Structure 1
């Protein structure tokens, strides 16, 4: 068995990760595999008596539930979640940006309020689920009849959802929905917005401010327009006026410090924390060093690794905000009779991930090594540069929706199993953690990070490649998900509170 078929991630680890299929009886040094080990899965490097902490990435990921012999497969059958935290291990300095990096620009759109955009869309936003069908019909008709006359507009995007009525007008549910929709309505990648309501819903259009002729943000209710068909006709008339204004925008050089990247991982496998996530972390470090912003999220998927982020907080206030969000999540899942360890999905486990602690230690690698400068609530507007954290669920569409509402103008999404995702108005870049996935889904994956495993690239060089693609994408290069047409169905605001 060649040496490169196994990888040990830290000198403190008592398990290794198979980088290629390992057959029973194969050896590496003094280790003899006692059964077949699939790529991405763990093998014991030493005997592990019952109750022994299993250590990967230099951190505990759980404890053994039975005696495990050196060379045995370590997974759900003999490892279970236990909320251990080991001491914070020393980490190297973040990837530095050169003076040339700090002087870099991308070709973006400068909005009237000074913000920078990476795309030039027009949004058709539903205030309530009742106006969803009409908003889709409006966007479809506008893309068919108006868009061909305006080369500078990327498209008309329906932003639709299943909330807005049958809920309390106060409390967390309405606060989050309103903040999310308001974030999309003001998003820099929308040159103009039309918001459409029904008229009798809880989430009234008046909550979003009044705007009229001459404004790129307008709204009306279907009931006031005289019904669905007339609402579409009225909307097209309004959108033609908006398009005249938005279609005049042109790309111009803008400093990369105005790029805001929302970082996601979905369909993770045993390689995600070894290849794609740390490579994205390098790109995040480069962007932070150049003055840009990267948003790490998915609170339920950094659980067990939050102490590594906390140790990098720029102040105790920032650290305490992170602690508060972790405590909220512990109470939230307990209230519903669940555990944060329920998070790893069947696909995650088939890919080699056993516990939430293991998944989190790999997920947090997306944040690189830069200082943590701020912690935000879901869909709050992000204003701090550098690495920031936004509290979101681990469910990718909900998490990315919050990041875009907060201002992310690019999404970078790592996957080991093959998540398909778009997030208009923000372009979504897909990064595969293994080369088999990249070969199997070449029209969905933008970068193959699996080349790190075979020595073709280092984490640092692959991170630089991701950094360059982020800049190119911000400048207008279409991602694979954009080419396929993803992005109209992935707007999913976090649903909290009672349905009444």
Structure 2
């Protein structure tokens, strides 16, 4: 295993790939660097003297400014590095030609729906319109497990606390996300479970759902039923019979839609797991497929790298609005725009938001950005899309699923057990995490700094995603986890 990595030729820092002792002498670019203090794994150290106020460069870009004079070999972290970011900025479109050459078609075994959409799972979803019926929904899930046979992959309820006592955008968000999930092709059948007096009632929700197949979507209003449990079970039996008729068949990977997200990042996230996901994204896009990148606050500081990859001026302007609208959301709530990274991020070696963002956007690969989606908006354009959603793991991952992602790729340096409505693949940035939390982690990218090159790893990873799309369960699915969360901004009545 390497001791350290200098990521870009322009960098004036290197990153420790394992704990390095004070006094260790390293050869970097033909020069000797003696460490002045212990450097934890994933953390940075100076490879040249840095005067106070000078830019600290990592990934070939500034990740902040030195708070004080920093000597060669010194540890660089929050104690001597500060963000260099401001608030709203003026951006100029400097288009980069990042078009990808087409590559050979690949296939996975998925479910073709009558409306032409494709699913990678054939599940029955129980979706409450309001939190008041959550317990009914979860009880129905438990009672229905006996029907998970044949081609029925799972029966899952998605409780949430919303659907009533909401105002403005919050109510719209709830209705939009619920409708998106009801229409998601990973669900072979859906029971929409309402109470009857809520703001987002079944009647209110139907216009958001649009046209639907009555064999696939059933509605039950609990206040209108003498025995909602018995009636709901009858409906679930009908949904199981309908969904059970679907069989897996070969489908082109050009029809795959994959969401990309990271959480619990560490100093290796932007070196191992995120670049691997970026390489996967480029591979899928080159085969005609679609990827979606979200968590807008973790683009701050790296946004120009994305903006300049916009395929045209219109997409550039939408990307500018994406960034500035989210900054305005922060300031409207009297919050600091750059109140990031989290304590766990800092412990793992991430010092500033620029540091985090430059590592985060590695997941986007190099493909052109073809569209920018509003929160809850379904993806319409094949290729790399950006999605308006916060950094919160559950909210952002649910948003990816709602926009049409069949699978969410979730890179992590610290680990997490959660899932979202679609298969949520956990990808470790370091081998120690993969070894320790084998019940959480599906794929280890830590080998990228050990004994595996990127070409080998990206192909292994692409093969693994195809396996998951073809039915292989990820660890959170094996554990029976299905979560969802909706973005809340405003007043609760």
Regarding TM over 0.5, the answer is: yes
Match of 2:24 among 16, 20, 26: 26
Task: Kindly indicate whether the alpha-carbon contact (under 8 Å) linking 1:94 and 1:368 is maintained by their aligned counterparts in 2.
Answer: no
Change (3 A) 1:81 1:58: same
Match of 1:492 among 472, 485, 490: 485
Distance 2:233 2:173 in 1: 29
**1:59-83 deviation line (CA, Å, top 9, x unaligned):** 1111111111111100000111121
Residue 443, structure 1, aligned to residue 427, structure 2? no
Alignment: residue pair count: 483
Match of 1:387 among 369, 384, 389: 384
Task: Find the residue that maps to 2:15 and give its secondary structure.
Answer: strand
**1:418-461 deviation line (CA, Å, top 9, x unaligned):** 1222223x21211110111111112221111111112x112232
Task: Kindly indicate whether the alpha-carbon contact (under 8 Å) linking 2:95 and 2:308 is maintained by their aligned counterparts in 1.
Answer: no
Q: Which moved more, 1:327-336 or 1:250-259?
A: 327-336
Change (3 A) 1:362 1:420: same
Distance 1:377 1:93 in 2: 24
Question: Which sections of structure 1, spanning at least 5 residues, go unmatched?
Answer: none
Q: Give 1:94 shift.
A: 7.2
Q: Give 1:92 shift.
A: 10
**1:98-141 deviation line (CA, Å, top 9, x unaligned):** 33xx2x21100000100010000011100011111111111111
Residue 345, structure 1, aligned to residue 347, structure 2? no
Distance 2:25 2:94 in 1: 30
Change (3 A) 1:117 1:134: same
Change (3 A) 1:88 1:363: farther
Task: Kindly indicate whether the alpha-carbon contact (under 8 Å) linking 1:91 and 1:369 is maintained by their aligned counterparts in 2.
Answer: no
Q: Give 1:152 shift.
A: 1.3
Residue 16, structure 1, aligned to residue 18, structure 2? no
- What does residue 330 of structure 1 align with? 327
Task: Kindly indicate whether the alpha-carbon contact (under 8 Å) linking 1:265 and 1:415 is maintained by their aligned counterparts in 2.
Answer: yes
**Equivalent runs, 1:234-383 vs 2, <5 Å:** 234-383=231-380
- What does residue 473 of structure 2 align with? 478
Match of 2:430 among 424, 428, 434: 434
Distance 1:96 1:411 in 2: 25
TM-score of the two chains, using structure 2 as the length reference: 0.94
Distance 2:243 2:465 in 1: 24
**1:310-343 deviation line (CA, Å, top 9, x unaligned):** 1111111111111101111111112223223212
Match of 1:133 among 111, 123, 135: 135
**1:354-386 deviation line (CA, Å, top 9, x unaligned):** 111110100100010001010001121111111
Change (3 A) 1:311 1:90: closer
- What does residue 70 of structure 2 align with? 68
Q: Give 1:151 shift.
A: 1.5
- What does residue 153 of structure 1 align with? 152
Q: Cα RMSD over matched residues?
A: 2.1
Q: Which moved more, 1:474-483 or 1:279-288?
A: 474-483
Task: Kindly indicate whether the alpha-carbon contact (under 8 Å) linking 1:92 and 1:369 is maintained by their aligned counterparts in 2.
Answer: no
**1:264-308 deviation line (CA, Å, top 9, x unaligned):** 111100000000000110000000000110100000111111110
Q: Give 1:142 shift.
A: 1.2
Distance 1:199 1:295 in 2: 35
**Equivalent runs, 1:122-271 vs 2, <5 Å:** 122-144=124-146, 146-147=147-148, 150-168=149-167, 171-209=168-206, 214-226=214-226, 230-271=227-268
Task: Kindly indicate whether the alpha-carbon contact (under 8 Å) linking 1:279 and 1:460 is maintained by their aligned counterparts in 2.
Answer: no
Task: Find the residue that maps to 2:198 and give its secondary structure.
Answer: coil
Task: Kindly indicate whether the alpha-carbon contact (under 8 Å) linking 2:95 and 2:310 is maintained by their aligned counterparts in 1.
Answer: no
- What does residue 120 of structure 2 align with? 118
Match of 1:36 among 38, 53, 60: 38
Q: Give 1:53 shift.
A: 1.0
Match of 1:54 among 53, 56, 59: 56
- What does residue 458 of structure 1 align with? 453
Distance 1:8 1:14 in 2: 8
Task: Kindly indicate whether the alpha-carbon contact (under 8 Å) linking 1:8 and 1:17 is maintained by their aligned counterparts in 2.
Answer: yes
Task: Find the residue that maps to 2:144 and give its secondary structure.
Answer: helix
Distance 1:339 1:158 in 2: 36
After the TM superposition, list the runs of 4 or more consecutive aligned residues in structure 1 that deviate by more than 4 angstroms: 84-97, 210-214
Residue 79, structure 1, aligned to residue 76, structure 2? no
**1:196-217 deviation line (CA, Å, top 9, x unaligned):** 1111111111123289995311
TM-score of the two chains, using structure 1 as the length reference: 0.93
Distance 1:343 1:105 in 2: 40
Question: Which sections of structure 2, spanning at least 5 residues, go unmatched?
Answer: none
Q: Give 1:225 shift.
A: 1.2
**1:183-237 deviation line (CA, Å, top 9, x unaligned):** 00000000111111111111111123289995311112111113xxx21111001
Distance 1:491 1:415 in 2: 19
